[in-house]
Amino acid sequence: MTEMTYAQAARLGLQEEMARDPKVWALGEDLGYEGGMAGQYNDLQAEFGPDRIVDTPISESTIMGAAVGAALAGTRPIAEMRFSDFAMCSVSELVNQAAKARYMFGGQARVPMVARMPIGIRGGIAAQHSQSPEAWYAHTPGLVVVTPSTPANNRGLLKASIRCDDPVVYMEHKGLWGMLGEVDENDQEPIPLGVAATVRAGSDITIVSWAAQVGVAAEAADVLAADGISAEVIDLRTLYPWDRDAVMNSAARTGKLLVVHEAVRVGGFGGEVAAEVAETLGVPVARLGGERIPIPFSIPLEEAYKIKADRIAGRVKEMLA
């Protein structure tokens, strides 16, 4: 096992897939020149050449449009958007073209591409660089949505996303780029899409989350354990397809469900999970999510926006009271 950061693990996964398949390539702003955001493309242009690690103009619609066309032509591009917020300039290419091509052409065309869109809060980068719009893409038929929470997941899920024959919206959390974790470099198999992970076993309540909130939920489970409450924590890892069986089996056993996400609570994907569980099992469900406000630039206000472990623990205690 090797300890590396979340960003380094993604770089390793991309490097392995580019070495495995010559059809894999990446395009985006400053990938070769600066190594991309958090160094996720460091030295890859020197290794694979400027035709496979492609520096582009500052035009998200151009990056996405080129990736969609190249995927339809038989390659496997990775479109680097730098921030999910910036990707909003290229939504038409992704949602109206890539997501619908397989259906519109009766299965004769596929779009095997990855759109990397980092999400979430990363310390004072304000409202236009901090959003978590994963629910937008989970709502769109034809798109796969992936949200890794650890370095090992970031490597394994990126590998699976690159190999997927449908367009994948790959949403790393910016706040996790420096997170350290163990990665088994000898195991080069991808982590299957649509399979959740049980981070912590428990019997009193199920907490479901993804991306950076998984670690916060695990902290909350530790706090609750000190009070004799056993919380099971599930990391969805993939929002679409999401692991319905894992969530249902856990919620049926514990009898209660709390879904936690950093994204705005209103219209968030947590509502989908909670509704499915409530309709299927009839157990009590609840959600925790961000307020429907722009992410503040002020660090104290940004901290107040976050869903922290004490707030999760408090909501669990209310549900069990």
**139 assigned to active site:** no
54/33 Cα distance (integer angstroms): 10
54/49 Cα distance (integer angstroms): 8
135/265 Cα distance (integer angstroms): 10
Q: Where are the alpha helices (DSSP H) in 130-212?
A: 134-138, 151-163
**Locate tokens 């073209």: which residue?**
97
- Answer for the pair 210, 39: CB distance below 8 angstroms, yes or no: no
Nearest by Cα to 267 from 78, 114, 120, 138: 138
160/147 Cα distance (integer angstroms): 12
Number of H helices, E strands in the chain: 12, 14
Q: Are strands 114-116 and 168-170 parallel, antiparallel or unpaired?
A: parallel
DSSP type of residue 28: E
Q: Which residues contact 247 (CB under 8 A, 6 or more apart)?
A: 196, 206, 208, 234, 236, 257, 273, 276, 277
Q: Which residues contact 95 (CB under 8 A, 6 or more apart)?
A: 137, 140, 143
**Residues classed as catalytic:** 129
